[in-house]
Structures are given as structure tokens and as C-alpha cells.
């Protein structure tokens, strides 16, 4: 879920003071701390890779309904085990020069030291809902990123073809636990007993 910043005006505007700062010339020069400070003071979803920032598009209603359904399902499942699930915007550090903002972030232990207040240092499970502007971002690029970060399980929820792909980490790469379609029940390898109806996810209201 991302937009190409080429040709996109990236500006920091403080209307109260009349200040307007063009951020585009800084692409490739951002430090991680500058990125963190910027995103501390914006409502936009912004990701960071190797000195470049990328502004993500506003989610659609369908995206948010799917996300809300999955959040409630994971939340209910984790109540007895003491885990935590949160939703965007919350940053996850992939490595020192890369931060992502997944749609859902989950830890089986709410006291896990990776759950830092400003950003998480990892997660047990991440969920991305694919949007049509750049499907490869969630289905290709973030597969590599989250494997690099050592995320044990990654759910790709794709409204474009009504599939839920559940990937589990095997060594340094992901293996496919399952590709679930309408009529199926999507399951987790990491969370024994967790399951959701694919139809219910994509028909969420």
C-alpha cells in the first residue's frame, strides 16, 4: 500500500506560522532519526528505506472494514493468552535504515521487549491488506522485508483476488502455509487454533 513519490510534492506545512518546506530535495538524505521525528508529527502513513521516505495513500472504506474485522478476531483470540494486537499507524523497524507501518502488528506476549512505545523492534505476526495502487509492495517487497526482520508469520490479505496468503518463516525466507480463498477458512501456523472465514473477512461490514 504505497504511492510513488516521484512527481509527488512532499512538503511540510505549518499553517499557523506560514512555514512551507519542500522535502523532495532531501530524498536519499534522510536519517532514521529525522524520519522518526517527521512521522512523530504527522497523521500520514510514511515508510522509510535507505534515506528515502514514501508517503502511503489514505485507506479506503473496504480496506478499513477488512482491517477492523481482522483486528477484532485477533484481539478476541489473544485475550486468554496475554498477547497484544495493534493497527496502523505504528512503526516497525526492519533494520537500522528501514521502517514499515504494517496494517496489523501482533505479539503473543504483551510484555515482549520488542514492543517499544515509539516503534516496535519486531513482531510475531504482521498483516497487510493489499491495495490496488501498488500490489507488489505488499506481495513482493514486504515479503522480503519481513523475512529479513525475522517476522515469524506474515498475512497478505488481498481484496483484488479475495485471497489470504499466510506465510511462515523457514530459515531466512518464507514458506507458504496456505493460500485461502472464498469458501475456505484461513488458519495460522503460529497461533494454534486461530482461524477466520475468508468470506467473512472480505464481506466485512
Question: pLDDT tens, 50-68?
Answer: 777 777 778 889 999 999 9
pTM of the model: 0.81
Domain, as residue range, for 138:
61-202
Within this chain, do residues 99 and 194 fall inside the same structural domain, yes or no?
Answer: yes
In the predicted model, what is the mean pLDDT of residues 111-136?
92
Within this chain, do residues 70 and 105 fall inside the same structural domain, yes or no?
Answer: yes
Name the β-bridge partners of 154.
126, 167
Within this chain, do residues 112 and 30 fall inside the same structural domain, yes or no?
Answer: no
Give 12's pLDDT tier (boundaries 50, 70, 90). low
Put residue 147 in one of left, alpha, beta given phi > 0 → left and psi -120 to 50 → alpha: alpha
Within this chain, do residues 140 and 100 fall inside the same structural domain, yes or no?
Answer: yes
* Residue finishing a domain among 36, 55, 74: 55
Query: Is 2 part of any domain?
Result: no
Q: What is the end-to-end Cα distance of the chain in Å, rounded?
A: 21
pLDDT at 95: 87
pLDDT at 15: 62
Within this chain, do residues 18 and 78 fall inside the same structural domain, yes or no?
Answer: no
Within this chain, do residues 70 and 145 fall inside the same structural domain, yes or no?
Answer: yes
Q: How many domains does the chain fold into?
A: 2
Asked if 199 and 183 touch (Cβ cutoff 8 Å), the reply is yes
Within this chain, do residues 66 and 142 fall inside the same structural domain, yes or no?
Answer: yes
pLDDT at 14: 58
Instruction: Return d(Cα 203, Cα 205) in angstroms, integer.
Output: 6
Amino acid at each position: 500500500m504505497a504511492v510513488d513519490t516521484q512527481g509527488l510534492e512532499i512538503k511540510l506545512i505549518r499553517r499557523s506560522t506560514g512555514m512551507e518546506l519542500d522535502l523532495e530535495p532531501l530524498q536519499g538524505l534522510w536519517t532514521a532519526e529525522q524520519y522518526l521525528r517527521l512521522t512523530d508529527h504527522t497523521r500520514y502513513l510514511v515508510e522509510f528505506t535507505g534515506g528515502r521516505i514514501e508517503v502511503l495513500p489514505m485507506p479506503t472504506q473496504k480496506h478499513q472494514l477488512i482491517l477492523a474485522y481482522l483486528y477484532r478476531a485477533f484481539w478476541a483470540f489473544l485475550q486468554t493468552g496475554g498477547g497484544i494486537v495493534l493497527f496502523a499507524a505504528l512503526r516497525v523497524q526492519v533494520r537500522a535504515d528501514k521502517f514499515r507501518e504494517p496494517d496489523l502488528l501482533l505479539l503473543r506476549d504483551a510484555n515482549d521487549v520488542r514492543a517499544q512505545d515509539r516503534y516496535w523492534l519486531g513482531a510475531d505476526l504482521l498483516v497487510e491488506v493489499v491495495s490496488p495502487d501498488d500490489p507488489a509492495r505488499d506481495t513482493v517487497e514486504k515479503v522480503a522485508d519481513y523475512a529479513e526482520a525475522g517476522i515469524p508469520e506474515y498475512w497478505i490479505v488481498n481484496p483484488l483476488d479475495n485471497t489470504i496468503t499466510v506465510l511462515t518463516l523457514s530459515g531466512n525466507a518464507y514458506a507458504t502455509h496456505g493460500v485461502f480463498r472464498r469458501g475456505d477458512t484461513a488458519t495460522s501456523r503460529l497461533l494454534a487454533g486461530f482461524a477466520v472465514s475468508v468470506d467473512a473477512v472480505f464481506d466485512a461490514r
